[in-house]
Amino acid sequence: MSVKKRSLIAASVAALAIAATALTGCASDSSPKGEGAEADGPVRIGVVPGGQPYWETFVDEAKKEGIEVEIVDFSEYPQPNPAVSAGDLDLNQFQHIIYLATHNVDADDDLVALGSTVVYPLNLFSNKYTDVKDIPEGGTIAIPNDESNRARALLVLQKLGLLELKDGGSATSTPDDIIADKSRVKVTELAADIIPASLPDVDGGVVNNDFVALGGLDFKDSLGSDSADDAAVEPYTNIFAARAEDKNNKTYLKLVDIYQNNETFQSALKDYVGEGAVSVKLSQDDLAKLLADAEDNYRATKG
């Protein structure tokens, strides 16, 4: 995710027209909103960073089911959620549950997790070393600077034995929680999209899945990651997000089903991400609980 500070969130909707390009199956009017309603126009789905070829397959497979889909590409994470809230998008699919929780709390919003998609293990890469044990004492590791992925990156580095966090770390950990005298490395925070290009200047970098291929990296070269099978990673499940009133929209739920179960789409997805993703199917009730817990945990950190 290409993440700026959350002060950009309010400006994101205004930037929609110039920030987005579309991949679409038609150009008719936008879909109706409301619980249980069926869409009769193109369903606009925001994605970050865009350009992944599997979305073309998704559009084609949705069209076979009678659903016109328009994929709207964004360059930055703070943009798609306000666009859904404002009605400029119907759905977005770019974030995990914890990221949505931080948005909802910070923006006093009530977007919901409509359906689960995949878990992307968060990986450590290096241009200088091929084994994590070779990273030197006092080395510098770049981590994403957005709140949710920053904490997760710190947990990855702790798992790999590069640092230790106070109280074992959590989904709200910050660099201030690093126990310096028990840690091998320092961290520097960068926008997630520039970490791959910054690898020559640091000893390693924790890279979001969105920017692995775009940064010329390959998952097979990862020095380590968290595990999709770990219960602690469940809140990092990626999702389709929607407005609360659309949680029972039949068309939108059908799109979730296509993502999860359509063999042609799943093949296209796996061709692109390779071993970099694990498909996850969680119920709406499970997603709602994970989101509520994540929101409560985040509120607690804000006092």
Q: What pLDDT shows up at residue 19?
A: 40
Q: Which of 243, 301, 281 is nearest to 104 (CA)?
A: 243
Provide CATH code, domain 6-120+233-301: 3.40.190.10
Per-position pLDDT tens, the chain of length 303: 433 333 333 333 333 333 444 455 443 344 445 555 555 679 999 999 888 899 999 999 999 999 999 999 998 889 999 999 999 999 999 999 999 999 999 999 999 999 999 998 899 999 999 999 999 999 999 999 988 899 999 999 999 999 999 999 988 899 999 999 999 999 999 999 999 999 999 999 999 988 898 899 998 999 999 988 777 889 999 999 999 999 999 999 999 999 999 999 999 999 988 767 889 999 999 999 999 999 999 999 887
Amino acid 25: pLDDT: 46
Residue ranges covered by each domain of the chain: 6-120+233-301, 123-226
Decide if 6-120+233-301 and 123-226 have a common fold. Answer: yes
- 107 touches 85 (CB < 8 A): yes
Alpha helices of 139-249 — where are they, by DSSP H?
A: 147-159, 195-198
Q: Does domain 123-226 have CATH number 3.10.450.50?
A: no
CA distance 231 to 229: 6
For residue 237, give the DSSP letter: -
Q: What angle do CA 183, 172, 135 make, to 5 degrees?
A: 25
Q: Mind listing the pLDDT tens digit for each residue in 196-211?
A: 999 999 999 999 988 8
pTM, rounded to two decimals: 0.77
Q: State residue 28's pLDDT score.
A: 36
53-88: per-residue pLDDT in tens? Answer: 999 999 999 999 999 999 999 988 899 999 999 999
